[in-house]
Amino acid sequence: MENRKIKRHAKSLQQKAHTHTVILDDPTVGRYKVISGGSGKEYIVNVFQKGGASCNCDWATKRLDTLAENKGATACSHTIAVFEFIAAGNGKRVSAWADEQDAKRQHRPVTNLADGVLLTARPVPKRYRQADFLFLAR
């Protein structure tokens, strides 16, 4: 029962992430601006080289003990939005999971976002347009 509750949390976080706007702020340090789709507030997300990301939203910064445990990483809708943004740039789509078994079942590399949230990414099939095949008619 408890597991199912967390699972829903990962999916609802991802749904919320879809409403945000992500802007690459500084590629040299992996800094992104995330504008909340709900409040219009702007947050700063820093992606760590060793994986995970930090965020300066209330939810992420208020839990100081968990934050220390996670070495500054947080799994809020803003960090998920940034990983979705990065994946989209590589032609991939991200899924968020709270259950390790569910994540492993995707047979994709699993990224641990902290707070018990795992991310997997799968390639998005390219959509071809008719114009892409015109060379065949020549």
Pairing status of strand 42-47 against strand 31-35 = antiparallel
In the shown chain, the binding pattern of residues 4 to 43 toward Zn ion, with x for contact by CB under 5 A and - for none, equals ----------------------------------------
**Nearest residue (CB) to Zn ion, 3 versus 19:** 19
Q: How far is the CB of 105 from Zn ion (least distance, A)?
A: 27
Q: How far is the CB of 108 from Zn ion (least distance, A)?
A: 24
Who contacts 123 (Cβ-Cβ below 8 Å, separation ≥6)? 91, 92, 93
Q: Does 81 bind Zn ion (CB under 5 A)?
A: no
Q: Which of 13, 73, 75, 76 binds Zn ion (CB under 5 A)?
A: 76
Q: How far is the CB of 112 from Zn ion (least distance, A)?
A: 17
Burial class (CB in 10 A: 0-12, 13-18, 19+), 125: exposed
**Nearest residue (CB) to Zn ion, 25 versus 102:** 25
Q: Which of 17, 57, 98, 119 binds Zn ion (CB under 5 A)?
A: 57
Structure tokens at 94: 């991200």
Distance CA 80, CA 13 (A): 8
Pairing status of strand 110-112 against strand 118-123 = antiparallel
